[in-house]
Structure 1
């Protein structure tokens, strides 16, 4: 049985919830069958230079075919070309959007049964 990607059920400034998960997140990672908090301190991530390969590796390891990256409500979080190249080298398509647009795109794809994952920043 293949696990589906869980819907992101709510998004507001600094707060996200994922269907089937009791925890609320500030920033989160989602993949088929699960989700967890995205703690930037684990990889030393900052708005500049932004999302690192180490930030997305865990989601890619879950077998996703498409990765959605939410850059924040005001798109302050950068996504360097090196990270996009890293994702492409794994054979995974990537879409980088403002977080509200990213969540809508992710939920649409998840609803279509796509093997989609994402990393989402819910503030600036």
Structure 2
């Protein structure tokens, strides 16, 4: 099962190939995607992405996880979250969202078991 390509990105709007809905922020993994609702885990720009935000994607058996920190990189990724991912033996790539999506789509094109979590605004 392959990861879905991110078809488009603009401020506050993302489309995932093969998905009829659009997202403000999203999670993607081999075979699926869904909205990333920060309220589920109490996430905010500071302290940033929590391990609980990533758990669902990591459970899908990804080898690489890409995090998009927003268009202006306002979303933080604390060292505790980085450690959480690495302790599971998963490669982690953290970039500005446009660059993160380019990298994610490149990995999808190579057939990698990749997941992502992307913030499409600040």
TM-score w.r.t. the length of structure 2 is 1.00
> Does 2:13 align with 1:15?
yes
Q: Give the superposition deviation at 1:114.
A: 0.1
Match of 1:44 in 2: 42
Q: Give the superposition deviation at 1:20.
A: 0.5
Q: Give the superposition deviation at 1:54.
A: 0.2
Q: Report SS of the residue matched to 2:121.
A: coil
> Does 2:89 align with 1:91?
yes
Match of 1:71 in 2: 69
| Structure 2 spans left out of the alignment, 5+ residues | none
Give the one of 5, 28, 33 matched to 2:3: 5
Separation in 2, partners of 1:56, 1:23:
21
Match of 1:116 in 2: 114
Match of 1:107 in 2: 105
Separation in 1, partners of 2:46, 2:101:
22
Give the one of 24, 27, 31 matched to 2:25: 27
Match of 1:59 in 2: 57
Instruction: Report the RMSD for the aligned CA atoms in angstroms.
Output: 0.2
CA deviation digits over 1:7-65, x for unaligned, max 9? 00000000000000001000000000000000000000000000000000000000000
